[in-house]
Structure 1
């Protein structure tokens, strides 16, 4: 198993996972509740879309045994006490194993709170069936999930509390009986050091490695849906359109081509006439069929994946879906809901929708000399160069010269600045002029009201996200602003493990978000590769133009995967 670290047993949450299951608990083994989608019930052992149990702990008489030391792994955890060792882990077949070893004959019991539960937005109709040495948990709604709990030790099951007599040792295995070993290409924990290895002084190499680990930890195969990147723990353990697409560069710079393809494939499967869904639950239900920014960004993600993987012929279905997404945007127009979920959403044209459409069209243009009839026909029909020119004029209409920033939304031809982070997107995508960036980054420019002690603020609430901070690091590096790029790097490093060990959080300065978030890890990876090392694709291969005056000393990024070739880059 891959080790994350050695930690004090405080009451911080953690998640361990395999490809088909995950467990969310607390480092001190104290039973508790977490999550708001199913209030207080997002933790526990899940074989998506069904939960088997909520909490696991040890009782010595009437007292809960607290560990003195915790060692956390990507797919397991060890709780150490003086003469006692408790281990949870997932094996390669996604079987959840529990093992207790005791040096003495303690009068202890292993306690499991069997609280079977169907995933959020589903009717909960589950059953617990007890037989000798075996307990079966079934769901009447999700009949392809049947969870078995097996132990050789004596046990008592009463009112959903399973008590297992331990004595000196005990072993339990929990698995989904119908969990067939799918032979689909995936990325797993062994791929973390196979591609994109960062070597430097300080905490960057570990944070970079753990950001990649976070992507694997959040990847999941869910029956009837597919394999892809889930958004975050504890409240978003399912698939999101915008989260997957804003994570695409992080996946690609990590060399996780299978994960990128699987994530795009899920969105293609659940798309409707090119409209990309926002939220696909573990049940397979589409909770939100998508906002404009997701559909606008999907072609960008597809063509970035094909550019990195060189895998064009096997992905015609993704290319065709990208074409449908272009058609949807062009036919629908640009007015409608964007990425911000504020009360005024949908009342005008959002800057993210326009920016993402340009990004997609520019990626399409990079394939103008390819031999794909599907892509060449798309270029002929769309005429992307002409459309980009027209959309750049709209971007300029968002610019507020007196405020030295980009507006977030245009309503009835009037630009409005709501203080949203989306003002940085024209800089992230390198669509703004050098003069606009200079004005924005000036002491009284738009950036001055967005910077904080923890990074770039989401809005005027004061919360900051690694997503926004990472995007602005990339923007600052592109406009040769080393000072602000390094400011962002410092804030990204400070946010790491803020609320959970080995985890990039959703929000840097507020524990109310996910303690483990996919796009946060992805933007850290992209920030290092694209921002600090300045890696971009030119003439069919990656080249590097590193950040100047970085003060980071010598660093090296080895084994960056591009097609079948591995590249090395240096930072001096």
Structure 2
């Protein structure tokens, strides 16, 4: 049984394959991603169980919520990440004769971070335990504690022969050690603050997955997009994640994520920020109203009015890029060639939804641009269906009299936000069903009108890709427009994906593909509330 899995805390995580072959597991960008990371350094490339010289492959995987287990018959290899400290533990129980644990040290820095490492490993043995000091350079040092003295080093491989049942190893960046049970108990205690009582439903798992991706570094803290890619903070991903968690105990983490993005983006959410604080890409146009919408929803629940400054900051940027119809011009969630001077449907929907939310909550009166916003809202209320609806579906992009239909999943946004009357919404869903937008796997990314370059996915027929996000957006639209058939279909697709790949985690691409865990799936917690 070979698959990808992860175990994470705020400052450390392990991600890789069950057979320990953890390289080349990324697809968006290249680099050494698999293995054990502590803060922004990959220390260990793989942790594997051997019988003699043979690498064993587990026959079962168990997601224990607070730790993960690989099962080899009666033998268990368990992984646990401390929720707050840079400490990670591995435990081997019920081991068999000739079983040894192999830990491969292969340090590397996170993406776009240049740091040279020359690892030096030293063992200090005692009668019943041992400590391995791993020095990477003058600044970086880690220690590995294990409850056996039967340990050796071959090149950069640490070979551990168990002598106590269970065998435990704790890896951290300081001399303070934790037992495996202490780490699991700490995680249980910490997670209980933010999670509902365990129940076997999808809303529990998406909240757990988001909490697993809440990473803290010197540069800030917030919800990383997913694993096993290099984790980074994405603007639009964080918006969906935050919206899903506003009515959960994680709302305080949503606030921290908002403040983190605003810090790095000078008041707006950047598109991509590495966990070292490097802004790789500034905000796309769609992320400006989307982030302001999240902030508005948060303030409406908490009355923390000082955060409305972020909405004002969004309007400062948006007012400079509105077309004559009142919609922001620029890039949306889908990269459509030749549309840089167009308003995109998803951006228009976010913007209109933001204006309605500000008006409905009364927060529009707390804006510096209150008067201008009210005039603009009246304009949007009068023209949205006329500009964007082509009779049965929506245009993907509009620039004056030029209106494009590319068949992207952004068709669903006006329905997800409930921006059009019931009769029109039902009509659009009916036509979308006829065109083939909704499959057993979920909602397709785009109709197969063209072949497009899908990044590291290669030239791909659009109809072959089903992301989890469009599927969740379609589920929300089905609920808004009372389409029970579509609602059931999308729920079944998501529940099916939950049981594929790594159990207990909905992947990025349905039914199993892309990132094995994706924070934006937390949006489901609000959709199904």
Return the TM-score normalized by structure 1: 0.78
Per-residue CA shift, 1:64-92, capped at 9, x if unaligned?
Answer: 23344433223422334456443221235
Partner secondary structure for residue 323 of structure 1: helix
Structure 1 residues 305 and 121: alpha-carbon distance in aligned structure 2, compared to 1, 3 A threshold: same
Kept in 1, the 8 Å contact 2:133–2:143? The answer is yes
Secondary structure of the 1:405 match is coil
Cα distance change on mapping 1:88 and 1:479 into 2, 3 Å: closer
| 1:95 and 2:84 aligned | no
Distance 1:43 1:497, change over 3 A: farther
Equivalent position SS for 1:114: strand
How many aligned residue pairs are there? 489
Between 1:502-511 and 1:38-47, the stretch displaced more is 38-47
Q: Is the 8 A contact 1:33 1:42 kept in 2?
A: yes
Distance 2:386 2:175 in 1: 56
Structure 1: tracts of 5 or more residues without a match: 1-9, 180-186, 199-204, 530-572
User: CA offset at residue 445 of structure 1?
Assistant: 5.0
Q: Distance in 1 between matches of 2:264 and 2:390?
A: 42
TM superposition shift of 1:126: 2.0
Aligned residue for 2:320, secondary structure, equals helix
Residue 184 of structure 1 corresponds to: none
Deviation at 1:157, TM superposition (A): 2.9
Where do residues 22-421 of structure 1 align in structure 2 (5 Å cutoff)?
22-28=13-19, 33-37=24-28, 39=30, 41-82=32-73, 84-92=75-83, 93-102=85-94, 106-132=97-123, 133-138=131-136, 146-151=141-146, 152-168=148-164, 170-177=167-174, 188-191=190-193, 193-194=195-196, 205-224=200-219, 226-235=220-229, 237-272=231-266, 274-308=267-301, 310-312=302-304, 316=306, 318-333=307-322, 334-368=328-362, 376-378=365-367, 381-393=370-382, 395-402=384-391, 404-421=392-409
In structure 2, the CA distance between the partners of 1:87 and 1:472, relative to structure 1 (3 Å rule), is: closer
Is the alpha carbon distance of 1:257 and 1:81 closer, same or farther for their aligned partners in structure 2, counting shifts above 3 Å? same
Q: Output the CA distance in 1 between the equivalents of 2:345 and 2:170.
A: 51
**Cα pair 2:59 2:71 within 8 Å, conserved:** yes
> Residue 133 of structure 2 contacts residue 141 of structure 2 at CA under 8 Å; is this kept in 1?
no
Please give the alpha-carbon distance, in whole angstroms, between the structure 2 residues aligned to 1:445 and 1:70: 39
Taking structure 1 as reference, are residues 103 and 234 closer, same or farther at Cα in structure 2, changes over 3 Å only? closer
CA distance in structure 1 between the aligned counterparts of 2:164 and 2:20, rounded to whole angstroms: 19
Return closer, same or farther for 1:441/1:37 CA change in 2, 3 Å cut-off. closer
- The residue aligned with 2:12 is 21
What is the rounded CA distance, in whole Å, between the counterparts of 2:61 and 2:426 in structure 1?
48
Higher deviation after alignment, 258-267 or 62-71: 62-71
- What's the CA shift for 1:236? 5.0
- 1:94-149 residue CA offsets vs partner (Å, 9 max, x unmatched): 42112334566x23331111111100122241232323332224468xx5x64332
Please tell me whether the aligned partners of residues 408 and 422 of structure 1 are also in contact (alpha carbons under 8 angstroms).
yes
The 1:167/1:177 distance shift into structure 2, 3 A limit, reads: closer
Q: Distance in 2 between matches of 1:487 and 1:172?
A: 45
> Residues 97, 264 of structure 1: CA spacing in aligned structure 2 closer, same or farther, 3 A cutoff?
same
Q: Does 1:519 align with 2:520?
A: yes
Work out the CA distance in 2 between the residues paired with 1:446 and 1:107: 58
| Contact preservation (8 Å) 2:143, 2:175 | no
**Alpha-carbon deviation of 1:285?**
0.4
Change (3 A) 1:31 1:401: closer
CA contact (8 A) 2:245 2:523 kept: no
Structure 1 pair 412–380 and aligned structure 2 pair: CA distance change class (3 A): closer
How much has 1:60 moved relative to structure 2?
2.1
Contact 1:441 1:448 in 2 (8 A): no
Check whether the contact 2:16–2:25 (CA below 8 A) recurs between aligned residues.
Answer: no
2:453 aligned partner: none
Alpha-carbon distance change, 236 to 125 in structure 1, aligned in 2, over 3 angstroms: closer
* Secondary structure of 1:53 counterpart: strand
* Distance change >3 Å, CA 137–CA 421, structure 1 → 2: farther
Q: Which runs of 5+ in 2 are unaligned?
A: 124-130, 177-188, 323-327, 448-461
2:329, 2:50 → 1: CA distance?
A: 59
Q: Describe the SS at the equivalent of 2:367.
A: helix
Q: TM-score, normalised by structure 2?
A: 0.84
After superposition, the Cα gap between the structure-2 partners of 1:100 and 1:255, relative to the gap in structure 1 and judged at 3 Å, is: closer
Q: Secondary structure at the match of 2:403?
A: strand
Q: Would you say the 8 A contact 1:52–1:115 is kept in 2?
A: yes
Shift of 1:242: 0.2
1: CA distance between counterparts of 2:196 and 2:73? Answer: 37
Question: 2:36·2:45 contact (CA, 8 Å) conserved in 1?
Answer: yes
Does the C-alpha gap of structure 1 residues 86 and 469 become closer, same or farther in structure 2, counting only changes over 3 Å? closer
Say if 1:30 and 1:64, in contact at 8 Å, map to a contact too: no
Q: Is the 8 A contact 1:76 1:87 kept in 2?
A: yes
Paired residues of 2:195 and 2:208 also in contact (CA < 8 A): no
Q: Give the superposition deviation at 1:243.
A: 0.3
Aligned counterparts, 1:448-459, within 5 A: 448-459=435-446
| CA-to-aligned-CA distance 1:164-210 (integer Å, 9 cap, x gap) | 2334454321113399xxxxxxx952135547x87xxxxxx522211
Contact kept in structure 1, 2:14 and 2:37, CA below 8 Å: yes
